[in-house]
Structure 1
Amino acid sequence: MKVNKDANGYTFAFSIILVIVVGVILSSLSIGLGPLKKANVEVKKKMNILSALGVESTRKDGSEKYDKYITESYVISHSGNLQENLPAEKQAFSLDVQKQFRDKTVKVTDRLYPIFEAEKDGEKLFVLPVVGKGLWGPIWGFVALADDYETIVGTSFDHKGETPGLGAEISQSFFENRYNGEKIASNGTFTPISVVQNGSGSESQKVDGITGGTITSKGVERMVNETMEVYYKYFSKNK
């Protein structure tokens, strides 16, 4: 029987078949590329951790360098207590702190906080994930502390959709480096670090923010301070 290709039924049927075929192909590709996508996400995370340590890496050598510099990892609670016997998805590297931050069903006091111990040039360092909110969306990163548990020796910040040339500059080294040498505690007490404009303010602990990116800069301030205060609970107990 001859098919009338000009009929509406033919067009409709052809469209349905095309959608199904394309959907199957895309679904198959997504499933097939799943392990590769997961591997890319993992190596990117390792590169960001290394970046906070001041170690340059690529997707080719990121995993190798991570294994070289990161010596141990574990998780603490919001109250600063070590958490043991956690399921695989809540182990330090697997724990998705960004997802945890977005999940409104998770109370702040129930959040978990990973710690990555590292050794670089004979010195023990601690790399601590941070997560927060900028002007347009999530911001996140890693802060590296010296073995005095107080001095910041490196940071690595990133964002999802901050304004190019303004808030997006938090991921540039000139801003990240401003945190180097700052301390999260003084005389055994946690001390917040303020983000200010052009060195203004009377705070002893402060860094210059991004010109024109005040809201994002303040987002970094809250992100770092709120997270470092939790980590310092643990460090002050275990000095």
Structure 2
Amino acid sequence: MSSHDSINKILLVALSLCLVCSIIVSTAAVVLKPAQEANKSLDKKRNILEAAGMLDESRGVEEQFAQVATRVVDLRTGKYVDDVDAASYDQRKAAKDPGQSEALTSEQDIAKIARRENYAVVYLVQSEGGELEKIILPIHGYGLWSTLYGFMALEADGNTIAGLGFYEHGETPGLGGEVDNPRWKALWPGKEVYKGDDVTIALVKGSVDPANANANWQIDGLSGATLTARGVTNLVQFWLGENGFEPFLKNLKTGDV
């Protein structure tokens, strides 16, 4: 056998192996995709329940999520829309699409997100009798190193905080990463967002002084993570403000949604 024939056979075997491997990988991706999507959906529901302080590890996530109604809100009007499918709507993708989002001015963009999507998915916790108990809103904004993604939960009054949780970020462990610390997250429930018509809730440097007149609108800062703390304040104030969910919360209070 000539060296030329040997090289051709080696190339043929290598090509065949590449083809077989690519088929296996492609098949695995297709087969596993439904399971991956199901796990992604389950994880999202878990994060929503956890942010609202409703997660019970002894019960199934789907069972607990049954009391949560999912709706799509037009952030420009603060009203529900029925022609956008909440299950398939991708908020992150929409925020990058000029046709599905609006550019923010530097004055508006305190959360450093550049664009705000036109529609947002909100989650409403209802009692067995159908009464509203909690409102859970998706929030995001830039910290020190990354964009933080999370959920803010409010009581039915649309003002009292029920909980806050971030499910994705790249902040420094032990510093800005303390946004994941259960003790810090436990400081949020019971605090208020609005003082009059202003979004007043904010992180402070150090610890909140209970004697301070604004203590009910303040959260302990993150030690050694000034920029992350500032980012959290800004993103919360943005999403609870006039360019975020404030119009929706006002409409919800009056029943005009």
Q: Give the shorter-chain TM-score range.
A: 0.7 to 0.9
Deviation (angstroms), 1:173: 1.6
Native 8 Å contact 1:76 1:234 kept in 2: yes
Indicate yes or no: 2:232 matched with 1:233. Answer: no
Deviation (angstroms), 1:109: 5.6
Indicate yes or no: 2:62 matched with 1:73. Answer: no
Indicate yes or no: 2:141 matched with 1:132. Answer: yes
Return closer, same or farther for 1:225/1:11 CA change in 2, 3 Å cut-off. Answer: farther
Matched with 1:114 is: 121
C-alpha offsets along residues 192-233 of structure 1, whole Å, 9 cap, x if unaligned?
A: 322222037989232122222222222222221111112222
Native 8 Å contact 2:70 2:122 kept in 1: yes
Deviation (angstroms), 1:123: 6.7
Structure 2 length as normaliser, TM-score?
0.77
Matched with 2:105 is: none
Letter in 1 for 2:21: V
Indicate yes or no: 2:20 matched with 1:21. Answer: yes
Return closer, same or farther for 1:16/1:212 CA change in 2, 3 Å cut-off. Answer: farther
Letter in 1 for 2:119: L
Deviation (angstroms), 1:104: 5.5
Match of 2:92, SS state, is helix
More off after superposition, 56-65 vs 24-33: 56-65
Return closer, same or farther for 1:238/1:228 CA change in 2, 3 Å cut-off. Answer: same
Match of 1:179, SS state, is coil
C-alpha offsets along residues 22-78 of structure 1, whole Å, 9 cap, x if unaligned?
A: 2211111010001000000111111011112212245981111100x31x2222222
Match of 1:178, SS state, is coil
Give me the whole-angstrom Cα distance separating, in 1, the residues matched to 2:127 and 2:185.
19
Q: Which runs of 5+ in 2 are unaligned?
A: 103-114
Counterpart selection for 2:89 from 91, 95, 100: 95
Matches within 5 A, 1:9-88: 9-57=8-56, 61-67=60-66, 69-70=67-68, 72-88=69-85
Native 8 Å contact 1:167 1:213 kept in 2: yes
Native 8 Å contact 2:94 2:117 kept in 1: no
Native 8 Å contact 2:239 2:245 kept in 1: yes
Native 8 Å contact 2:47 2:167 kept in 1: no
Return closer, same or farther for 1:62/1:167 CA change in 2, 3 Å cut-off. Answer: same
Give me the whole-angstrom Cα distance separating, in 2, the residues matched to 1:58 and 1:26.
35
> Between Structure 1 and Structure 2, how many residues are aligned?
231
Give me the whole-angstrom Cα distance separating, in 1, the residues matched to 2:4 and 2:59.
52
Give me the whole-angstrom Cα distance separating, in 2, the residues matched to 1:59 and 1:27.
37
Return closer, same or farther for 1:175/1:7 CA change in 2, 3 Å cut-off. Answer: farther
Q: Which runs of 5+ in 1 are unaligned?
A: none
Indicate yes or no: 2:217 matched with 1:210. Answer: no
Give me the whole-angstrom Cα distance separating, in 2, the residues matched to 1:162 and 1:5.
57
More off after superposition, 217-226 vs 198-207: 198-207
C-alpha offsets along residues 88-131 of structure 1, whole Å, 9 cap, x if unaligned?
A: 2xx2x543333334x16331465212221113698711111112
Structure 1 length as normaliser, TM-score?
0.82
Cα RMSD after superposing both structures: 3.0
Matches within 5 A, 1:132-171: 132-171=141-180
Give me the whole-angstrom Cα distance separating, in 2, the residues matched to 1:95 and 1:219.
26
Match of 2:140, SS state, is strand
Native 8 Å contact 1:199 1:206 kept in 2: no
Give me the whole-angstrom Cα distance separating, in 2, the residues matched to 1:226 and 1:185.
12
Return closer, same or farther for 1:217/1:21 CA change in 2, 3 Å cut-off. Answer: farther
Deviation (angstroms), 1:4: 6.1
